[in-house]
Amino acid sequence: MTPKETVIKHKDFIIAIATLGHLPQKDNIYLKEIVEAWQTELKAIKSKVVYSECGSCGGGWIAQVKDFYVYAKKNEWI
C-alpha cells in the first residue's frame, strides 16, 4: 500500500489524532500502518530534496502522524 492509499484508508483516524487530540496506544495497528507509511514517504522526500526539521524527528508517534497529516493535506490527499 502506498503512503497516499494509507492516508485515504485511515483518513478519519489521522484527522482524529492530528486535530482532535486522540491519543491511541503505541501498539495500535492503524497507528503502526500510518507511521510506517509516513517513514516511507519521508525516505522518498529526502531522496529528492533536503527536508527541513520536522516534528517527526525525535517527536514520537503522535508527532509523526501530525506531520503526515499536514503533508497529506498539503498534497490534497485529505
Q: What is the pLDDT of residue 32?
A: 92
Q: How far is CA 36 from CA 6, 13, 29, 65, in A?
A: 9, 15, 11, 10
Checking if the pLDDT of 64 tops 60, the result is: yes
Closest CA relative to residue 45, chosen from 17, 71, 65, 66:
71
Tens of pLDDT along 13-42? Answer: 999 999 988 888 888 999 999 999 999 998
> What is the pTM (predicted TM-score) of this model?
0.76
CB 20 within 8 A of CB 65: no
Domain residue ranges in the chain: 3-74
Query: What is the amino acid identity at position 31?
Result: L
